[in-house]
Structure 1
């Protein structure tokens, strides 16, 4: 059974290598997203029992909200949702979860999806740069949807702690979705596979004919 599936997959890869590569990227990306969905609420529940919950983390002021208040790219005011913004506890839970997931994703995508044989250190450097850039982009986007999502599940639906967990999951799905579409073209660039040069076969010396 497994052998037949493997053979069918190999034939598919030969016929449609680009699409097969995207499918592998899709599978691994969703796998690490599931890992994020499992870890993030656990880290947040843990950090919420510490002083981190009551510590503001509001950085990079860029303009104003529609109500005139200051807009922060990283906007995590202290306190529980929906009155607060999760504080440093929320920020740490998100970033630690993402770091774990992206380290795993790096090796899966490099070694299996793209089968890269270039320098892993150079790839890791560019991966880290891409991760930082995407973190800023996703954080800026989160400033628009995070508070309404938590308010909807906790207050509007009156789900309490269940709504908070549901909001955790939805925000991580959105965060991961942004990363998914940004990372694939980046991976195509940093995870290169260089074809090995074919060995030169020396020509056989010509044999002299009879004089």
Structure 2
């Protein structure tokens, strides 16, 4: 197998590099996606009903989709209530904190793996970390905004454990596609500029 890869790499160096990068990018991204899912699932329970019942949303735009009234926001999540009107864990400030902490910690794990192994970059790590952080903030806002369109609807029909899988898939999937090309830009290969 190693010989086959060596021959392929010799004949198609650029394609081999892309395949190598895509393979490791997916492996590391999936690993941090699983980590995020665990945070999204268990941290809200640790934070409790008090934070789950605390509304934290900006901006607040009232919407009605598929028979569900909810408030859309770019930051924060709706407070989730059961059929009896009691607050349940899986929304509000508690979920927002869990989402941001899980996503941020996942990127702290992902950054050195992608930079050093996947893209073998020798660029300035502080400069790269700054651009990585900016990309993460922008991508997080996009994902939050999109999640806030469907999560209130999903919470009316399925349990938080189910929509956590969807949140993880959407956040991880969208982030993976966008981040791969961001990494190609911010993690140039080769020697550090002198």
TM-score, scaled relative to structure 2: 0.82
Structure 1 unaligned spans of 5+: 154-162, 198-211
Partner of residue 202, structure 1 = none
Paired residue secondary structure (1:182): helix
List runs of 5+ in structure 2 lacking aligned partners: none
> Which structure would you say has the larger RCO, counting Cα contacts within 8 Å and 6 or more residues apart?
2
Deviation at 1:64, TM superposition (A): 4.9
- Within 5 Å, give how 1:18-167 maps onto structure 2: 18-49=18-49, 51-61=50-60, 64-66=62-64, 71-80=72-81, 86-153=91-158, 163-167=159-163
The 1-side partners of 2:127 and 2:82 are apart by 40
- Provide the rounded CA distance (Å) in 2 between the counterparts of 1:79 and 1:22: 38
Q: Which moved more, 1:81-90 or 1:118-127?
A: 81-90
**How many residue pairs are counted as aligned between the two chains?**
182
Q: Deviations over 1:144-164 (max 9, x none)?
A: 1112222222xxxxxxxxx32
Distance verdict in 2 for CA 1:10–1:151, change over 3 Å:
farther
Look up the match of 1:176: 172
Residues 59 and 74 in structure 2, CA contact (< 8 A), matched pair in contact too: yes
Moved over 6 A (4+): none
**Aligned-partner SS, 1:89:** helix
1:103 deviation in Å?
0.6
Cα distance in 1 for partners of 2:125, 2:42 equals 31
Are the aligned partners of 1:53 and 1:90 in contact in 2 as well (CA < 8 Å)? yes
RMSD over aligned Cα, in angstroms?
2.5
Q: Is residue 188 of structure 2 the alignment partner of residue 189 of structure 1? A: no
CA change 1:122–1:152 in 2 (3 A) is: same
Please say which structure displays the higher CA radius of gyration. Answer: 1
Do the aligned residues in 1 keep the contact of 2:32 with 2:110 (CA within 8 Å)? yes
Would the aligned equivalents of 2:77 and 2:148 in 1 still touch at CA under 8 Å?
A: no
CA displacement 1:6-54 (0-9 Å, x = unmatched):
55555555532112211111111111111112222111111124x2122
